[in-house]
Amino acid sequence: MTRLELIKFLNDNSDGITAFSAIGALVISSFAIIRASQDNRKQLIVSKIEEIYELTIFLYVEYNKLHYLATTLEDIYTSTVTDKNYELNNFRLMVQDAKTSIDFNDLYNKTLRINVLANTYLHKKIRLEIIAYTRLFQCIIATVHLATLDRKNREFKEGFPTTNNLLIFVESMTPKLVALINLGENKNRKNDYQEYFENDFKPKLKIK
């Protein structure tokens, strides 16, 4: 094709070429938007998992204080002292003193936040681990705050795990959070969670 023929071809087909170019630009733009959306989604997931990780560690740091208070409370209820009311009043004073370093409301709200994030961004196995972990904290916080063993006896009748055993569990769980960047699976059924809680979570903490 000569130069004149090429110019004539371009002139005769200018509308079609323009339309084709526009379509091509639209397709490229769409792929760019999809890719950017995927990257943003991935970054969002990573940031949420990082938040779960941070909150998990934050809770563990407070566990030793909570465990001491819960153990003290259990000793009061299982002791042979005749005046349990006196001992419980002393315990409540201990809790008031502890509140200078532990914000129970903030701690409980953090467990709720982790649950929301876990149910939204984590897949089944690690989600179960995180939810069971927060359930432990919700139970021990309620036990100490209310000065009653009712919930503890329902959910952890075997006793709360020691700080060292909980550390072993945390150390086995947190690397999974660090590595995890994929979307979660479908939400677990309630019986799946209960089975994990009784048959996996508690044995790992050596309370069953």
Report the run of H or E that residue 89 belongs to, with start and end.
helix 84-98
Judged against a pLDDT cut of 80, whether residue 156 lies above it is answered with: yes
Q: What CA–CA distances, in Å, run from 115 to 2, 72, 109, 155?
A: 71, 28, 10, 18
Mean pLDDT along residues 14-38: 53
Query: Rounded to the nearest 10 degrees, what angle do helices 104-121 and 14-78 cross at?
Result: 140
Place 27 in a pLDDT band, splitting at 50, 70 and 90: low
Closest CA to 117 of 185, 196, 44, 49: 49
What confidence score (pLDDT) does residue 177 get? Answer: 87
Mean pLDDT along residues 31-36: 54
Decide: pTM greater than 0.75: no
CA dist 178 and 53 (Å) reads: 8
pLDDT tens-digit readout, 82-115: 788 999 999 999 999 999 999 999 999 999 999 9
pLDDT tens-digit readout, 70-84: 999 999 999 887 788
> 50 vs 13, which has greater pLDDT?
50
Mean pLDDT along residues 52-78: 95
Q: What CA–CA distances, in Å, run from 169 to 19, 75, 188, 200?
A: 61, 26, 21, 11
At 158, is the secondary structure helix, strand, or coil?
coil
Q: Environment class of residue 136 by beta-carbon count within 10 Å: exposed (0-12), middle (13-18) or buried (19+)?
A: buried
The CA radius of gyration of the chain, in Å to the nearest whole number, is: 29
